[in-house]
Structure 1
Amino acid sequence: MTTSRHTPARIVIAATLAALALGGCAGPSRDGGAEAPTPVPRRTSAAELCTALVSHWAGEALKGSTWAGLDWEQKGLSNEQYAIHEDVLAAARAEERRQGRAAALELIGDQTKARCEALKGATGSSENWRPPSHNPKIVTESNYFGNVKSTHFR
């Protein structure tokens, strides 16, 4: 009994290689073929950061989340952003009583965006708020005995 040179595995391998050779895995051509666009990083504006932070925390407070009880600094908000949070949350609670939670969450998004854009991010009122830094400098302060008192970023 002779064994056939064309076993099923060899046929599958040959068919796969033929498909690849015919262009299934061909890259962009050098003759002007289209290449996939490279994504360009975009910087997030202060107003966009404000909108994302404030609307997130106002939504969590509206839902009664465990994390909604953090203070404004723990949430990463400036004084102005916290004021927006409180105003928008009060309006959202009233809207929730009238129209339901979905309407209240929509109101949070709309009002937060409008207020954050009007105040250009609402970041100027807090000495504790700083925009994120790519190279923060870690500063450690020690007391008289050399024990670490605090560590913070500058």
Structure 2
Amino acid sequence: MKTRLWATLVLMLVGFSARAQTLSGKEIFAGNCTACHSIGGGDILGPDLAGVTERREADWIKSFITNSQQMIAAGDEVAAELFNKYNKIPMPPHKFSDEELNNLLSYLEEAGPEAVAETTLPKGTPEIAEAQVVKAGSPEMPMSVKVILCLLSTAAVILSITAIYLLRMLRS
């Protein structure tokens, strides 16, 4: 009985942690990229990422996201050019899984054309330009809230299983 209970608990925890670790591209962008990048909204601290999947190979983008400084040290001219262009501010390395990198690239590819269309305004309307710019990737719910909700749901499952186990022990 105890073995089965522990096995169930472990499987549930693994399931919840796998769900928490696999984020959509939009969530990854909102939680990690929006401080320095936009998609169609212009350069911020780093470059505007609209159309980046058309300008660069997927493997290059993944390598740059994972560790841009390593690419610069290895002599990648494009990486060094970007580093110099954006005031030599290094992009922090990210430890995303392959699935998360693929999700992020898919999001950049899908959001790019939409973001450019959203920020394109009719000619002669500069006074409303600021009001109509919609930043792609703006978070619907902050990442911290999602993490807290995931942890709370995991705690609720653990408490429920513990309560069931204790009730069964009391009955027997």
TM-score calculated relative to the size of structure 2? 0.28
Which gives a bigger RCO, structure 1 or 2 (Cα 8 Å, sep 6+)?
2
Question: Larger Rg: 1 or 2?
Answer: 1
Structure with greater proportional strand content: 1
Q: Which has the higher helix share?
A: 2
- The TM-score with structure 1 as length reference comes to 0.30
